[in-house]
Amino acid sequence: MKHLSKLTWAVIAMMGFFTACSNVEDDDLLGEKPGTENPGDNGNGGNTATGEGSFEKPYSIAAVLDFNPQSTTDAVKTGVWAQGFVVGYYNNTTKTVEQAAPFTKDENIMIAASASETNSEKMICIQLPFGDIRTALGLATTEANFGKEVKVFGDVLKYNTFPGIKNTVAYWDIAANAGVMPPVGGDFDVAEMNIAALRAMYNDSDVTLTDDKKITGVVISDLVGGNSTSLKGMVIAATDNSCGIDLYLDQNNTNYNVGDKIEILLKDAVLSAYEGTIQLKPALINTKKVGTATITPKVITIKELNENVMNLAATLVTVTGVIESTYTTWGGTSHQSHKIVSGENSVETFVSKYAKFKSEALPTGEKAFTGIVKAHKKSGSTTVTTQVNIRNLDDIK
């Protein structure tokens, strides 16, 4: 990790002023840069007080425990720092906190006020999304992280039955004086346009957007399921599932998952197409979670889907049929495709080699398949290939 420049620290200090969770006096803004001694540090997560959630004055473990979040989706605090020592991880299989090597999972870490803490009731659970943060902090990848003092940045929520931090987008290794800082995006207080109007702006050539506007949508792609060819790819739909759009971010999505309602700034983003699929290319820092929502898939026949695929692209649908395939499992070492067949009609279903369910056996008999509609048309071809791509095995009933 790279050290931050003096200019960057000046920006962070200003951010801390504007994003503090409560009003503070000027004297309260006097904090230390990373790596300098904190006069309030007594091993309880970085400070004797509860902290403010800022980088300079992160919440202590005691403060997060006192927040006592009860929801896994509605945050008690958003965009805050907390500090503690890595003392293990929560094993979802055994429902226990693992505190001894060898460690086998990187999905989360447990942190506490003391590196020697063994009482799980005095720990909080930290989500480690796919990407750089998981690689940096995960115990399976780096066993030496055990006992390290770290700061993490995200939302205070209930996670794995513990008070914790989810949607983690930044961290800081205290001893190494290095880490990843939260991204800084633009101003979201701008006019909103709907996704259908945005899609209509594309006319067979790239469009660089210049207006200060935003769109709002609900994520229908599944980061955890992994059925995608790139972590930069994501799909959002309008809240009524009337239309949607594929996103191709400038960085890996390690945060947004199914049901997250997000805003996306359009200025400087690019509308383009890949094999006939309209996509928006925004910067990750110009996206923001504003809530959660549930998208109800449109129940439709395969025949109706094929006839209306361009209008239904990037929405969630449910079709009924039987899987026909030359394979016996959903995926393998390479990408695979199968057919969902109903009478004389069929639709392709694609499974990435990165899908978490790729080794599971294909279902037999008639099933209802819920998935994201894709419409592919290779350059120079007039033939459109329709796909309904499931996100995980819960999409099959």
Contact yes or no for 251/218 (Cβ under 8 A): no
Residues in the chain: 397
The tokens describing 298, both together, are: 């449109």
What's residue 278's pLDDT?
A: 93
pLDDT at site 100: 94
| Predicted confidence (pLDDT) at residue 224 exceeds the cutoff of 80 | yes
More confident position, 41 or 152? 152
Peptide bond into 183 cis (omega under 30): no
What pLDDT is stored for residue 186 in this prediction? 78
Q: How do beta strands 162-173 and 123-127 pair?
A: parallel
Using the CB atoms, write b or e for 323-362: b if 16+ within 10 Å. Answer: beeeeeebbeeeebebebeeeebbbebbbbeebbbbeeee
Per-residue pLDDT, averaged over 220-241, amounts to 94
| Helix boundaries (H) for 20-103 | 61-67
pLDDT at 21: 34
Reported as a single tens digit per residue, the pLDDT across 142-198 is: 999 999 999 999 999 999 999 999 989 899 999 999 999 887 777 899 999 999 999
Which positions ≥6 away from 62 have C-beta within 8 Å? 44, 45, 50, 113
Strand 287-292 with 233-237, pairing: unpaired
Whether 388 shows a pLDDT value over 70: the answer reads: yes
pLDDT at 168: 92
- Segment 260-278 shows an average pLDDT of 92
Please give the share of the chain, as a percent, with pLDDT higher than 90: 70
> Are 106 and 128 contacting, i.e. CB atoms less than 8 angstroms apart?
yes
* CB crowding 62-87: b at 16 or more within 10 Å, else e: bbbbebebeeeeebbbbbbbbbbbbb
Write down the residue that tokens 């030359």 correspond to.
326
On whether the CB atoms of residues 255 and 231 are closer than 8 A, the answer is no
188: Cα within 13 Å, side-chain hemisphere: 13
Task: Tell me which of 74-88, 174-188, 351-365 is least confident.
Answer: 174-188
Tokens of 89: 């991880």
The pLDDT of residue 73 is 81
Q: What is the DSSP letter of 396?
A: B
Whole-model pTM: value is: 0.61
| Beta-bridge mates of residue 236 | 219, 245
Residue 286 contacts residue 265 (beta carbons within 8 Å): yes
- Specify the pLDDT at position 3: 42
Cα dihedral value 60, 66, 67, 69, nearest 10: 110
